[in-house]
Each structure stands twice: as structure tokens, then as C-alpha cells.
Amino acid sequence: MLFCLLSIAISVPARGYGDILIVVNQESSIYNISERELIDLYMGRRFEFSNGETVLKLDQGKDSDTKRLFYQLLIGKTLSEVTAYWARLLFTGRSTPPYGLGDDASIVNMVMGNKSALGYVNEELDIDVSKVKVVGRVH
């Protein structure tokens, strides 16, 4: 039974998506963000932007496809591995995970309303990012 279930799970194809856009508030003093800095922020090693400004890190819903793609492109980890990584930091008191929201549109709305917010959206979902600032791209 176990191996039947395994074979079914392995055979499910992954959905294809494009690049991930990194977005901040229009009024933010951040104009670009390096991949290194992004990894440090989203892996809980950095608690503020490199210029010292406060950051509110936003994550997508726990099993969202954009989140799956973001972490796969950024650090090569699956959602389970990211959950395991954050569980390790959370349950050892080192850090708490980024604030989780529902989907790409929620991220844009939250970034529009918070000067310190940092988020990511999937470019191919045609989310309107005209009212936020794109400071990076993960591909």
C-alpha cells in the first residue's frame, strides 16, 4: 500500500511557472536587492535590510505554488525542506518565519500598505505591480 501511494505521489508532474519578482513599497529606500541578501533575509539570518532599515518579510501561504517556486529557485529546497528548516529555527528559539499571507494579490496589497514590507510574486500570474517597486528578480 505504502509503495502504491509513493508511486502515485512521484508521478504527479510539477506545474511550470516563470520568474519571481521581489517587491517593496514605493516609498522604500531600497532600489535593488541582491540574491545573497534575499537568502539571508528569507532564511532568518538577517533581521533588517543591508542599509539598516527595518524589514517586514512577507511569505505566501503555506502550500502556495508561488512559494514552492520561490524557494526552489532561491535555495533549491522543496516546501517540506523549507518547513523543516524554519521549524528548526522556530523550535530552537533562533528566529521566527516570515509573516505568511494568502497569495500573490495579498502580498501586493500588504506591500502597498506598509513601507517596510518585502514580498515576492509570480510574474506569470499577471498581478498588477504598478503600485509597488520591483527591486529584484529570482529565476
Partner 1 sequence: MTNRNSLKSTLFLLLIAFISSKVLASTGIEENDFKISGFSTLGIVNAGNSTLGYRRDVSREAVFDDTTFKSDSLLALQLDIKPQSSLSSAIQLVARDRSDNSIEDSLEWAYAKCRLNRNWVARTGRLGLDIFMLSEYRNLGFSYLWARPPVELYAPMGIEHFDGVDLSYSKILDEGEIRLKAFSSLKDEQLFGVSLSFETAKARFRLGATSIDFGGEGSKVIALLKPALQSAGVLGWADASRYARELDIEGKHIRRYSAGVSYDHNRWRFQSELAYIESDYKPFSPLWNGYFNIGYRVDPVTFFILFGYAKNVGDIENASAAPPGFEALQGSLQSLLNRVRADQKTASFGLKWDVRYDTSVKLQADHTWVEQYGGVLWQQKQDLVNDTELDTISLNINFVF
6 sits near partner 1 (criterion: CB under 8 A): yes
Number of residues that bind partner 1 (CB under 8 A): 33
11 sits near partner 1 (criterion: CB under 8 A): no
Q: If DSSP states are collapsed to H, E and C, what string results for 19-80?
A: CEEEEEECCCCCCCCCHHHHHHHHCCCCCECCCCCECEEEECCCCCHHHHHHHHHHHCCCHH
90 sits near partner 1 (criterion: CB under 8 A): yes
Query: What residues make contact with partner 1 under the rule CB under 8 A?
Result: 2, 6, 9-10, 36, 39-40, 43, 45-48, 54, 62-63, 75-76, 78-85, 87-88, 90-93, 96, 99
